[in-house]
Amino acid sequence: MPKKMPEQQTLYERIGEENILQLVDDFYAGIETDELIRPMYPEDLLGAKNRLKLFLIQALGGRQTYTDERGHPMLRRRHFQWKIGKEEATHWLKHMHAALEKATFPEKEKDAFWDYVYQAALHMINS
């Protein structure tokens, strides 16, 4: 009898929700002091933090709360109200990379996460 193939874990399962939540908090600590892209965010970052947490949980294979609460992500469309060029994307990536460096999950998962957010940041460029 053939052996059953083990189910692949999602990136969400491999990283863990607590690590995702901490990474987003660390990311926004960098955003707080960024003179170029901080003005794109509301004064109170709590809503933005919560949206990114829910989005990443869903995008990485976790529960679908983001879509349940906000509809289809439509990332590029949601970000089109801001001028996002290469410089802005680079700043965003710098803070995400710093947060990822602090993260405690394995390098293989860090690499997979970085590949995802790097491509997403490039996709947001609209000017």
Q: Provide the mean pLDDT of the chain.
A: 93
Q: Does residue 108 sit within a domain?
A: yes
pLDDT at 115 over 80: yes
User: How many domains does the chain fold into?
Assistant: 1
- Mean pLDDT over 70-76 rounds to 81
Residue 43 lies in a domain: yes
Whether residue 6 is contained in a domain is answered as no
Residue 85 makes CB contacts below 8 A (sequence gap 6+) with 125, 126, 127
Give residue 71's pLDDT band: very low, low, confident or very high (50, 70, 90): confident
Crossing angle between the packed helical segments 86-102 and 107-124, to the nearest 10 degrees: 160
Residue 1 domain-assigned? no
Quote the radius of gyration of the chain (alpha carbons, Å): 16
pLDDT of residue 6: 60
Write down the pTM of the prediction: 0.89
